Chains A and B, each alone.
Chain A
Amino acid sequence: MIPDWMNQTEAGSYHGAASEAKKKGFAKKTVDGVLGFFQESLISEAFAKRKGLLQSLDPRVKLISMFVLVVGVTFMTSPWVLLVIYLLTLVLAYFSKIEVLWFVKRVWVFIPIFAGVIVIPILFNVFLAGDVLVPIATLGNGSHLGPIALPSSIYITRQGTTYVVTFILRVAACVSLAILLFLTTQRDLLFKSMRTLYVPKVYVLTISMCYRYIFLLLDTIADLFTARRSRQIVSLPLREEQRWVGGRVGYMLVKSLDMSDKVHEAMISRGFNGDVKLMHDNVMHHRDYVAIVTVLACCVILALISRSIISI
């Protein structure tokens, strides 16, 4: 029996031994990446096992609700409505016993911030004309920045700001919903629930098996790179290192296919005849019906408000 303390996983992110060397080699980066992936998976599995609001719902309900909400969000154009949905994901995270600050960090690091960096130029009247919100500089007539003709004065526009906020909130809301689904649903249940979206059984089983074997392959990769690091005294010429990495990629593919043969033989020996059967042991409760109706109703109302078809 596994003691309780072994099941506890603290939210955090793996930083490897980042402090030990400012410039990591390709081998260390790969090993750190693999270990980071393992830790992230452990943390999210631990969240999925907590007794929170979303964890108590049927995975099929969560999958459909999340899918509908994400599609709904892409139709929404009002920053206020998108802000409401984003805040709703934080409330759901809180009631699902996910550390909200950790969740915010997990969502914002990279994707929405990257999206924000991409659209920042739209704030200025150089890219999108609009009303003055914050004056920046007066350049005079005929100013150029390389081939781009600049207006006589540069300022942040109201329309540009609204656009940038809307764009970032839309991306953040979508990423939050996807991560929330993953953090509150056990993997095997999540993959099986894809049957409700008419994903063929054979693909559901493939996805489920693939997820399990990712860990095994990653463990092998970490071993390969750790072994190399432990034998390496000085860096080899770049071409030699590239050849080594490419060779390991080829080796991993050979190993994966060899393993698939063995797995296939093991499946056949246990009676597998190509007919895929998935265990369905989920039962819908009243709260699941309430949840899905609430989500669908909210989604429709918010989309109508966002498109100014109804007003509050």
Chain B
Amino acid sequence: MPDGYLGPNTYLPFWIIMIPIWYYAGRWLRTNLRTKQVPYLALAAAFSFVIMMFNVPIPGGSTGHAVGSALVAIILGPWAAVVTTSVALLIQCLLFGDGGITTFGANCFNMAVVIPFVGYYTYAFIAGKTKMTDRRRIIGSGVGAWLGLTLAAACAGFEMGIQPIINVSSAGVPLYMPYGLNITVPAMVFGHAFFFSIVEVIVTVVAFTYIARNDPTIIWNYKAVETASKPRVPAAAA
């Protein structure tokens, strides 16, 4: 969402929500990564930025782009995805004027919080205690990516759709986004559920499968997943 779509009474609360999230994400990463924090996040954020440059072929000869936040959350953990996606969005906003400065908090909430957390926990729920290369994990990554992006789109639709309710002039004319929830939410949800989220699923599933099969050690909770997936040996047999 660029600047001008949301009124101050909408974008300011999102800044207030995001500041403690960024703070906590920073603390979590500092504790877990120590001196590695800066290069790790810088390169991962650079990846989060460049993933949007990949054109994915889709039926009809056209192409689409992926956001990649769910993939980053599954591979690097949701807190790392909060920071890397936020940094990528900030650079995009300063480089291209794309995304908005006042709406940066809201955009980060949708793309750097909703997608990673919904994506990751959906994936973790479906995956259960299976091995890293198990089919359930692959399905989980796809469902997580689809649900994360679709819910983020619904959030953006909600943020835009409340504008004509909370921001109108004394003459009854809307001041910011003019369409109500009955238009913005379905438009955003359907557009994403049947197109953008599908592209997201393709990229997430294939990239996750590639990493799980070729280099699973880079996955942030690899050791925990492998330990949990090992069959327990009964005490008597031991």
Contacts and interface: CB of A to CB of B under 8 A. Distances in A.
B102 to A, nearest CB: 5
Interface stretch (A10-18, A169-177, A285-293, A294-302): A169-177
A23 B63 CA distance: 11
Contacts of B88: 210
Interface residues of B, number: 75
B101 A264 contact: no
A242 B206 contact: yes
Interface in B167-224: 169, 171, 173-176, 178, 202-203, 205-211, 214-215, 218
B208 A263 contact: no
B118 interface: no
A251 B47 CA distance: 11
A257 B44 contact: yes
Interface stretch (A25-33, A50-58, A137-145): A25-33
Contacts of A95: none
A170 B206 CA distance: 41
Most chain A CB within a 10 A radius of its CB, from B43, B49, B51, B176:
B43
Contacts of B90: 207
Interface in B80-117: 83, 87-88, 90-91, 93-98, 100-102
A130 B213 CA distance: 62
A36 to B, nearest CB: 10
Given A163-B174, A209-B38, A217 B47 contact: yes
A102 interface: no
B218 A257 contact: yes
A260 B26 contact: no
B38 A254 contact: no
B2 A253 contact: no
A259 B104 CA distance: 29
Interface string A154-166: 0000010011000
A202 B206 contact: no
Contacts of A182: 94-95, 97
Interface string B1-45: 011111110010000000000100010001000111111111111
A37 B96 CA distance: 10
Which 4 residue pairs spanning A and B have beta carbons closest together?
A246-B206, A250-B210, A174-B3, A209-B42
24 contacts: A26-B63, A33-B55, A71-B8, A119-B178, A171-B2, A174-B100, A203-B26, A203-B83, A205-B42, A206-B37, A206-B87, A210-B46, A210-B49, A211-B91, A221-B50, A242-B56, A245-B55, A246-B206, A249-B210, A250-B208, A254-B211, A254-B218, A257-B40, A274-B35
